[in-house]
Structure 1
Amino acid sequence: MPAPSALPGGCLYEPKWDGFRLVIVRDRDVSLWSRKGTDLTRYFPDLAEAASAQLPAGVVVDGEAVVWREGRLSFDELQHRLSSSAATVARLAREWPASYVAFDVLAVADQDARSLPLLDRRALLEELASEWSAPLNLSPATRDAGEAAEWLETMTAAGIEGLVAKGAGQPYRGGQRQWVKVKHRDTLDVVCAAVIGPLQRPEALVVGLPVDGELRIVGRSTPLRAAASRALGQLLQPPEGPHPWPAQVKPGALDRFNSGGPRCHRPDPRRTDRCGDLGRRRHHRPLLPPRRPIRPGEARATRRRSERLLAPLRPLLWPIPPSASWRAE
């Protein structure tokens, strides 16, 4: 984790949310935009309605859309929305409503705030959020490295991926990587039950965990380097009997962002690998060296309030041009 003085103006630590990055633009109407500039408004009618009711015109906020399910963040529920019809999206919004976690403000009262230091933008955001109600939320932030370290260890139980460290004195520069992401890491013994590529020179490993008496696919490794491929190839053997997995893995079983399932070769599923970087299922895992063999067996803010807050900062702001592009960092 970066030291408190590692970034310009000192570090401001925030949780790293497992959701969709969304910029909400409140003008005459409301629109929601992805990091790549895709209009996602129709996929989040619940958030658009809340933003229309609670954000004053002329505000642009940056944050993440998340869905809570059984006390944890569920990226799967978010992903489901993007492949659903309008009727299905409406049903999902009722059954598993989204929440919005705001961590930055880019404009207030039609004034561009991106040139302000993060601490000043945070003050603006906190004023805006002082009267918000669900599903709009203010992301917590701290300058206390000890508190941040505690978040890193305790919030992961709810699906928080880790931390983001930001420079408190930095302006908002869209399209540039200014933040430092700190992912929570853990290790776990997993079963190497298939490989992509030949057994003698595997390109990647497909790993599983015993769940309810079945060996379930939990992900695959990153591409193996040549030396690791050769070393692991010497450890893999054909199965001695029936294999619990099919030769053709279903689409999405290994990577929910890919539409096709690769063909796997299936070795004897009795060797354990140590799997690191367990923050999110949708990322491939790097594998650590193999271990012992085992038996197979996770508010509304008003314009007047905005104008009052803006008064001392107005010399630093300028009107938003009609063609302003709200590109996320």
Structure 2
Amino acid sequence: MAGARTPSGSGLPAGLVPPLKVALARVVTRLPRAGALPGSLSYEPKWDGYRCVVVHDDAGVTLWSRQGKDLTGYFPDLAAALASEVPPGCVVDGEVVIWAGGRLDFSALQQRLGAGPKTLPGIVRQAPASYVAFDVLAVAGQDARALPLSQRRALLEELARGWAPPLSLSPATTDPDEAARWFENLPHTGIEGLVIKGNDQPYTPGARSWLKLKHRETVEIICGAVIGPITEPREVVAGLVLDGELRIVGRSTLLKTAAARELARWLQPPCGAHPWPATVKGTALDRFNRDKDPVALTLVEPVAVEVSADTAWSGRSFRHPLRVLRARPELSPADITLPDMLRPGGRAPANTVEQ
């Protein structure tokens, strides 16, 4: 993005001059027990957006991705709001999100990064972004990362007092029952699960010191092709009917030997014309990796397959690989519809910004 500014770092401790490393989370498969992390546990929604560190130094406000990319020029709406609400000498960690139809819209974020100077203003007007803050790394030019989470949260709540859309404070709870309700009730909004932190933990850049629990659902998809021989498939190419056509919506993880052998029992070559080509661009299977080479498909007669999927849905595809559970040859592919968890129309969680 032309015109993106590189801040001088003036007014901030040397260790907080961007780009910055952020604290990370490791995956767990169930809610952790008390004592799993230092201090009592704090639970937050896992947002489906862009991780974004906001830096306000003497040069102004800049926005930085987890990978150290300057995002300021892509989100002028947020940069302006943050410049008026985040004082100089502050560094805030959070997530950039876009709401559409009551659901987080990751594809709208992708459009921002693909926009040029002429098209960006229209995209900003049509799909305004929101910023959800969940941590603070510096206040008044002082490094806060060594403070425990409980103290950083108190500083962040004071900083966010009076914020209004497009800025908000991420909800947090120490009640495991409330966290469990969030985990079960929020996936339809695009919330991916929970991030769990210890209230006595400092902020540890680059370390996976937090935990994340991702919500997964069992759904049926249409296997319209596989990668590898039809007798020894390595991956399933998933399809769903969108806009009246069978479209590729993702791929599975690598199949284990037993699972591949079982699936192969139900695979056969197409009986007639197939809606998919024999070779597709890598982005057809993984829409968020532009560097993948073309992929050869082994086309098959469509068959229903049960998979485990998380809630990260771009509106046109699954954002993460699916886990194949079993073939469902007793189901007609014609009866497989878009899973309820992927349909728009949910509500944003309490205390968050929806535009």
Distance of 2:294 and 2:173 partners within structure 1: 42
Decide which of 85, 91, 95 is 2:122's aligned counterpart: 91
CA RMSD of aligned residues (A): 1.5
Aligned to 1:2: 32
Aligned to 1:279: 311
Distance of 2:282 and 2:77 partners within structure 1: 30
Question: What does 1:57-206 correspond to in 2, within 5 Å?
Answer: 57-206=88-237
Aligned to 2:17: none
Distance of 1:96 and 1:25 partners within structure 2: 24
Residue 272 of structure 1 aligns to a residue in which SS?
A: strand
Aligned to 2:8: none
Which is further off, 185-194 or 223-232? 223-232
Question: What does 1:172-251 correspond to in 2, within 5 Å?
Answer: 172-211=203-242, 213-251=244-282
Distance of 1:120 and 1:278 partners within structure 2: 33
Distance of 2:119 and 2:54 partners within structure 1: 22
Closer/same/farther in 2, CA of residues 20 and 212 from structure 1, 3 Å limit: closer
1:87: how far off? 2.6
Alignment gaps of 5+ in structure 1? 299-329
Residue 38 of structure 1 aligns to a residue in which SS?
A: coil
Distance of 1:106 and 1:199 partners within structure 2: 52
Q: Does structure 1 residue 24 correspond to structure 2 residue 57?
A: no
Distance of 2:69 and 2:283 partners within structure 1: 23
Distance of 1:247 and 1:287 partners within structure 2: 22
Residue 188 of structure 2 aligns to a residue in which SS?
A: helix
Task: Return the letter of the residue paired with 2:153.
Answer: R
Q: Answer whether contact 1:196 1:204 (CA < 8 A) is retained.
A: yes
Q: Answer whether contact 2:263 2:326 (CA < 8 A) is retained.
A: no
1:212: how far off? 5.2
Task: Return the letter of the residue paired with 2:311.
Answer: G
Aligned to 1:291: 328
Distance of 1:95 and 1:37 partners within structure 2: 27
Aligned to 1:50: 81
- Measured against aligned partners, the alpha-carbon deviations of 1:97-146 in whole angstroms (never above 9, x if no partner) come to 11000000000000000000000000000000012121111000000001
Aligned residue pair count: 297
Alignment gaps of 5+ in structure 2? 1-30, 313-317, 335-341, 343-355
Give the structure with higher Rg (CA).
1
Distance of 1:261 and 1:279 partners within structure 2: 27
Q: Answer whether contact 1:4 1:143 (CA < 8 A) is retained.
A: no
1:47: how far off? 1.0
Question: What does 1:307-326 correspond to in 2, within 5 Å?
Answer: none
TM-score by length of 1: 0.86
Aligned to 2:347: none
Q: Answer whether contact 1:215 1:296 (CA < 8 A) is retained.
A: no
Distance of 1:87 and 1:61 partners within structure 2: 30
Task: Return the letter of the residue paired with 2:326.
Answer: P
